[in-house]
Structure 1
């Protein structure tokens, strides 16, 4: 899409969209990227975002560099949130602020199991549910004087959709519910020892949201099948993508590394443990350069396989892209679970933009495997008996980077145009 194609003519009236998102800069990590980028670009297409977000969120990663991506025209309404995770931390119970299902510690102590049980069974559907009612009241009060044309909620945390449900019932405004990940079928729910009551409540909440929202937006085709829409026309797929403002037009050559470097950027925890990859790396001369949270069990698995690891810890988004370009090749590891078959990790698209050879390890027979087939990227299922051999063969002769022609349709300016068209059709 050109810079002018799809943009709003000067004589068209602008519209306002309320975006309820728990994650907003300076929060970091993958959860913030989708709507930060949409909010930055939607004004080009006639939609001015008003972001509703906590003033004091308890987040695992902060990245102040993302504040530079906040469009000058974006209004941000902040409201305080009471976080049970802080209360648990005050009691000396650690791991409470980690990503769901991605605690750094692999502790199975009684205290750790109790914390997870409380989070899963008391705070339903998630630990941010206490923000729903007070925020709904305050947003409704502001909307009386500062109206909007459309509501968007994005999860996880999926309690954000409960705010959308309440606003929809109170105002009748059109509502788009954006599922960045599955809800009732998400793999990390198993980590919290959910009882039958909690699972029934989550399923009931999900059904209410899906039934009441005007449109259901997902990032991957299989997610619509997971949700099970009664009316297929309500569903829409707009994937994650990459922002041309973050990447040079022509990717630079890799750094002059003494050994070949394979880069992974993003959290690595239990569901993303990839023994076949570690085994192949341990038997090669490659160095694994990793950025992001790394759980104890994954680190132990790497050490056992003899992986030469260069772990950078948490990186800002800008730093991660810089380090990606210094790598000879990139790997994406997706969760080894049934629910992950219906999702596509956002990092796939930034790896595509980086212009490096790519290797992907993930669940078999899912959306990610289909995307790799389209792009010509080698995909190895987690449980493939010959996985280590196939990965070792790739390390010997990495396949070329995906063709540049795949980049355009995944660029965030083009995706923002698709989203604006969805908004326009929803309010018409």
Structure 2
């Protein structure tokens, strides 16, 4: 989707935006892409960005971009690992340097966890606040823009807002308060100290941000339940923005699909026991009983993350080492020059069906996997296995997708059987080409702010 495809409002004043994003220009990272994909449209609208980020990504030379390493030991170790990987790859030098630093920092990290108990990136707030305060006091900033997913950016944004009074706009990627059941509204203060601080920080964003937005209707709903001051005079104005995605590589155009020897089901992104390919393998086991020939042709590919424990257990139980193929994270290819994201785009377009695992936690009601927006650009059928999210279900059905409910094992088995039959007949469902670009997200944000 081009910059011209949607009318992006122009920023008439307050153009100098201090963008606080721990992850920025990190190849293939969802937290990075959500802001870096917006940059061309923000520039087109007249925004003059000043970016504060960690050292984990590549430095951008189109505008002032300051990279800070976290001041706490666990954050330093996290950032240092990514910096070494960017500089030297993940070979011998990486292993030697990161192992040495981890050993040296181990006692300090233990004390940090014992005293605070926060996630590792918390201490990135400190350099971001100090340097942001000095920059603002020098008169070089008009607006503060804090971006998740690391909450350290939001904390820095709130502190800068309170210290300077400048307008603060905030983008919340994942729910900051994790509910446990449909009846749980998230009022109870968590025992975990990091979760308790996120609970507090959500209330601070709803109080001190001028504008704050979430990525789903469910996330906005529950934030409003916990913070009834949201959207009231003197407090933050909250709304929903679909993040969308820009088409990497040649995914801006549909590619004619070629059927091959194998039915290739491909999953991209992180895996965990609550978001596991084990449910696909269990369904495959039922499929092979009914269609023994499917055993020779079905292949499930996992890109972007190690296999979860449940998937490994099912592979060993059924002997499916040749069925589920784990490719890991795709890094930049020095031979072709393709970035990890471009390689991912190519693999998506080559897939027969893309697997979208939503998970089974209650927070799925407030969350849409970021890979969904990349999937829409691929032009390939999506098999969504979702949990309590009518917004996601509707978007999938409106675009012609295979759809199952997490926990409905017979329904998941039936969906896989339908995919198998459709593939055999070379009549896989034809998705409706309705990708969601990033330009609509920027337009939505700027229109709200203009009001």
SS of the aligned residue for 1:312 comes to: strand
Distance 1:355 1:329 in 2: 10
Distance 1:376 1:83 in 2: 48
Aligned to 1:73: 62
Query: How many angstroms does 1:119 deviate by?
Result: 8.0
SS of the aligned residue for 1:379 comes to: strand
Instruction: Work out which of the residue numbers 188, 194, 198 in structure 2 matches 1:202.
Output: 198
Q: In 2, are the aligned partners of 1:251 and 1:355 still within 8 Å (CA)?
A: yes
Q: How big is each residue's C-alpha offset from its partner over 1:11-49, in whole Å with a ceiling of 9 and x where there is no partner? A: 956712111111012454222110011123211112122
Indicate how the Cα distance of structure 1 residues 235 and 360 shifts in structure 2: closer, same or farther if over 3 A, else same.
same
Q: In 2, are the aligned partners of 1:45 and 1:417 still within 8 Å (CA)?
A: no
Moved more, 233-242 or 323-332: 233-242
Indicate how the Cα distance of structure 1 residues 122 and 299 shifts in structure 2: closer, same or farther if over 3 A, else same.
farther
Indicate how the Cα distance of structure 1 residues 123 and 84 shifts in structure 2: closer, same or farther if over 3 A, else same.
farther
SS of the aligned residue for 2:65 comes to: strand
Does residue 400 (structure 1) correspond to residue 425 (structure 2)? The answer is no
Query: How many angstroms does 1:326 deviate by?
Result: 1.3
Does residue 314 (structure 1) correspond to residue 338 (structure 2)? The answer is no
Aligned to 2:42: 42
Query: How many angstroms does 1:8 deviate by?
Result: 6.0
Indicate how the Cα distance of structure 1 residues 86 and 43 shifts in structure 2: closer, same or farther if over 3 A, else same.
closer
Aligned to 2:170: 177
Distance 1:195 1:254 in 2: 51
Indicate how the Cα distance of structure 1 residues 296 and 116 shifts in structure 2: closer, same or farther if over 3 A, else same.
farther
Q: In 1, are the aligned partners of 2:9 and 2:45 still within 8 Å (CA)?
A: yes
Distance 1:401 1:215 in 2: 39
Distance 1:423 1:31 in 2: 22
Aligned to 2:348: 324
SS of the aligned residue for 1:135 comes to: helix
Q: List aligned pairs for 1:154-303, cutoff 5 A.
A: 154-185=147-178, 195=191, 199-228=195-224, 229-231=227-229, 233=231, 234-244=237-247, 246-254=249-257, 257-282=260-285, 283=288, 284=294, 285-303=297-315
Unaligned runs of 5+ residues in structure 2 are: 79-106, 181-189, 232-236, 289-293, 331-339
Indicate how the Cα distance of structure 1 residues 367 and 121 shifts in structure 2: closer, same or farther if over 3 A, else same.
farther
Query: How many angstroms does 1:336 deviate by?
Result: 1.5
Distance 1:290 1:320 in 2: 11
Aligned to 1:351: 375
SS of the aligned residue for 2:175 comes to: coil
Q: How big is each residue's C-alpha offset from its partner over 1:292-328, in whole Å with a ceiling of 9 and x where there is no partner? A: 1124404414413436123221011111001111111
SS of the aligned residue for 1:332 comes to: strand
Instruction: Work out which of the residue numbers 439, 442, 448 in structure 2 matches 1:413.
Output: 439
Q: In 1, are the aligned partners of 2:175 and 2:363 still within 8 Å (CA)?
A: yes
Distance 1:20 1:199 in 2: 21
Q: Give the alignment's TM-score, normalised by structure 2.
A: 0.75
Moved more, 264-273 or 254-263: 254-263
Indicate how the Cα distance of structure 1 residues 241 and 121 shifts in structure 2: closer, same or farther if over 3 A, else same.
farther
